[in-house]
Chain A
Amino acid sequence: MKARIHVFLKEGVLDPQGKAVMNALRTLGFGEVQSVRQGKFFDVETDPLAPGESEARLREYCQKLLANPVIENYRVEVLEP
């Protein structure tokens, strides 16, 4: 299976990096930019998983390691079964 896992800061958690990136974009003349939130993604390849099991399994990766639930949310996306 191939999947992409997105991990991003929860709403309300300050993102000083995103803010710096936003300021840089505005400095470059992109004055329309009002907000930037920075996150990350993980491209994951696994052994074949039982149909219907993949998403739960991916969410477990997030809960156990990839995301810190105190500050981050996540979204999993199966690309190829």
Chain B
Amino acid sequence: MKVAVVRFWGSNCDHDAIEWAPRVLGLASEVIWYEERELRGADLVVLPGGFSYGDYLRPGAMAARTPVMEAVIAHARRGGLVIGICNGFQVLCEVGLLPGALLRNQTLTFLHQEVVLRCETAGSPFTAGIGKGRLLRMPIAHGDGNYFADAATLSRLKDEDRVAFRYVDAEGGLDPAHNPNGSLDAIAGILSEGRNVLGMMPHPERASEALLGSSDGAEILQSVLGSFQRA
């Protein structure tokens, strides 16, 4: 499995993302600059976190209109795997590969803290190896992570089992006090219609080694590799 990480001006979690596959899977990561139009044969494309283009206009809006994103869209339409983390999730919503939008946190503050996520479906390459109901600990670090979609989109996401992760309390229960940014229906991550694109606000790549306080994030990458090898 070939892994590539896209780098925009203002990406700042790119190094964590670049180290992710080597450390978890022992696979190399390619780095792709936003001006490139080829993904160099990547099977899995990671859009990293950060503040691409200074969040000008809207978070992810400028990155969404770069040349490399045309290649990412084509890759996703062919069924290729894409993970967008944090700003990467915002970019995926801006290009329309995922529905909805990420609004300013309900608190109006930048939030950086550990959260507990509940895996809501095993029906995707990213979560097949994790399993529905499993709890994962990893950090969030964002100002605009408040997931929003209109009522029709939300009910479609639920009907099609496309909510990947929700924010929950330590026991795995839904609780507004543990939905840090005010996301609609406590949604932390969603899947595309084809289930090959995952967007999530929390940072699995920052929680993939015990030294970092949690290695739960590694399971997403391990799941992807497992699914890729079975395919």
Contact = CB atoms under 8 A, between A and B. Distances in A.
Nearest to A40: B57
Interface in A30-81: 65-66, 68, 70-71
B149 interface: yes
Contact of A68 (B58, B65, B105): B58
A71 B108 CA distance: 18
B65 A71 contact: no
Nearest to B65: A65
A13 interface: yes
B69 to A, nearest CB: 13
Contact of A70 (B57, B65, B93, B104): B93
B148 A71 contact: yes
A15 B104 CA distance: 8
B60 to A, nearest CB: 9
Nearest to A64: B65
B148 A70 contact: yes
A61 to B, nearest CB: 12
Interface residues of A, number: 11
Interface string A1-26: 00000000000111011001000000
Contacts of B58: 68
Contacts of A68: 58, 61, 94, 101
B155 interface: no
Interface in B89-103: 93-94, 99-101, 103
Contacts of A65: 57, 61, 65
Q: Determine which residue in B93, B100, B101, B149 has the highest number of CB atoms from chain A within 10 A of its CB, and name it.
A: B101
Contacts of B94: 68
Nearest to B96: A70
A16 B108 contact: yes
B29 to A, nearest CB: 30
A16 B146 CA distance: 10
B106 interface: yes
Interface in B29-83: 57-58, 61, 65
Contacts of B93: 70
B95 to A, nearest CB: 11
A2 to B, nearest CB: 21
A20 B108 contact: yes
A52 to B, nearest CB: 28
30 contacts: A12-B150, A13-B103, A13-B148, A14-B103, A14-B106, A14-B146, A14-B148, A14-B182, A16-B103, A16-B104, A16-B105, A16-B106, A16-B107, A16-B108, A16-B146, A16-B182, A17-B104, A17-B108, A20-B108, A65-B57, A65-B61, A66-B57, A68-B58, A68-B61, A68-B101, A70-B99, A70-B149, A70-B150, A71-B101, A71-B148
Interface of B: 57-58, 61, 65, 93-94, 99-101, 103-108, 146, 148-150, 182
